Amino acid sequence: MKKFFLIASLLLASPAFATPSATESKYNSAPVAPRLPRPFAYETPCMLENNGNPHYDTCKIVETREVGGALRTRNIFSNRFRLTIKGRFDKQKGYMTWDNYNKREYKWEYKVGGQDNDGAWTYVMPGFLLQNVSWD
């Protein structure tokens, strides 16, 4: 009986060693998926110029950036003007813009549109300005 308790205590008290499975092994690991940029959204004042008359709204901006911080995409939405502007960076063409007024993609370089007490205005398409938006 003593031998039985001795063997049972050794079996129950022995440490358990975990062996890695095929997917957990450092040599057989699955390829790591690249990190995708996560979008972030914010609101900023925007202005539509129509025959020299400014019309103001608050636009919603949704951006994605590369891991290093460079701008990848920027989507701009204005409910008041019923306007959608989609910008993306293309390695061959540079920064490309699409809007639902022109319904085509075109190259547009951001331009300075002025400055007031609340910050700088930037042309993001012909006749449409955003306030305090980065260019990169």
Burial of 98 (0-12, 13-18, 19+ CB in 10 A): middle
Q: What is the pLDDT along the chain (136 residues), one digit of tens a residue?
A: 555 555 655 555 545 555 555 445 455 566 666 667 778 999 999 999 988 899 999 999 999 988 888 888 999 999 999 999 999 988 899 889 999 998 999 998 888 888 888 889 999 998 999 998 877 6
Domain extents in the chain = 40-131
pLDDT reported for residue 117 = 85
Q: Say if pTM beats, i.e. exceeds, 0.75.
A: no
